[in-house]
Amino acid sequence: MYNILITDGLDKDAISKLKELNFNAIEQFYKPNELGDNLNDIDVIIVRSATKITKEIIDKACEYNKLKLIIRAGVGLDNIDVNYANSKGIKVTNTPNASSKSVAELAIGHIFSLARFINISNVEMREGKWEKKVYKGTEINGKILGLIGFGRIAKEVAKKAHALGMKVIYNDTLGECDSYNEYRFCSFDEIVQKSDFISLHIPYNKQIGAIITKKEINDMKDGTYIINCARGPLVCENDLIEALNSGKISGAGLDVFEVEPTKNLELLNHPRVSVTPHIGASTIEAQERIGDEVINIIRDHFNIN
């Protein structure tokens, strides 16, 4: 019987399916310093974002020579040293299709939250306030939405925003996408300068660092909104707070943070910030689809029809 370690949870139907297929599915989170020692009899490990699979953990797994597959139940692979795992003969794979719609819906949710003060109204009404005259919002209809990155999630955001009457412009390092004539491809600088709302949809690259810093913010129109449901370190939080305080940035919708769970109280408590705790992919539907994709990956790996 093969042992499959699930460290950050997985859809319950997928776990039942693993058992039906005769795998020993072990659900257990380990602290970083404990994980390596517990891989002695593990054939496959399934993680979300809480578990970090570092070089040290891979080295430890290699001592036992058992682990052959790491599955990231989600999109971002930044918590796994993929190149090192591959160099040691361990395959790493993710579930890139499953959560796009859910993440896109959350990004749109943050746009609405900021444009109509939904976030701060929730907080203040619970404190007994009724700020009807203060919160004059802005329609998103007719506004320019700039997408940085144009992968699966960004395309879903574009479709929804377009249906809401927004003008969508996008930038992607792969260049212009032929089949999307209703949106306009722009340079990164143009996105920064022209957008009313900017939404980030790219992975974080440590070598490049933050892509939204004081410099980019200075180039933005006054009153731009920033949405980040991708990776926290893409935006320099200190520079963002400064721009929120000065009014240069009208609002920020954040599902991700430089450090998670974030302790940045100035950001969390800022009246112009709408926050969620990295829940882009946390919907019933996305988690079911992720579970299905995980089962397909395991079937392929073990040649099960």
The gap between the terminal CA atoms of the chain, to the nearest Å, is 17
Instruction: Tell me, by CB under 6 A, how many residues bind ligand MLT.
Output: 8
Which residue's Cβ has the minimum distance to ligand MLT? 74
Q: How far is CA 298 from the centre of its chain?
A: 24
Q: Say if residue 283 is exposed, middle or buried (CB neighbours under 10 Å; 0-12, 13-18, 19+).
A: middle
- Which of 74/146 has CB closer to ligand MLT? 74
260 flagged as catalytic: yes
Q: Regarding beta strands 224-228 and 167-171, do their DSSP bridges make them parallel or antiparallel, or are they unpaired?
A: unpaired
- Window 28-57: contact mask with ligand MLT (x via CB under 6 A): --------------------xx--------
Given strand 224-228, what is the order of strands in its sheet?
A: 184-185, 167-171, 144-148, 197-200, 224-228, 249-254, 273-275
The answer to whether residue 281 forms part of the interface with ligand MLT (CB under 6 A) is: yes
Query: Which residues share a beta bridge with 167?
Result: 144
Give all strands (DSSP E) within 10-109, no chain letters: 24-27, 44-47, 69-72, 91-94
The answer to whether residue 297 forms part of the interface with ligand MLT (CB under 6 A) is: no
162 flagged as catalytic: no
- Window 59-98: contact mask with ligand MLT (x via CB under 6 A): ---------------xxx----------------------
Q: Which of 34, 139, 176, 260 is catalytic?
A: 260
Q: How far is CA 273 from the centre of its chain?
A: 17
Which residues, numbered 221-280, are part of the site for ligand MLT (CB under 6 A)?
280
- Which of 48/155 has CB closer to ligand MLT? 48
Site residues (vs ligand MLT, CB under 6 A)? 48-49, 74-76, 99, 280-281
Residues serving a catalytic function are 231, 260, 278
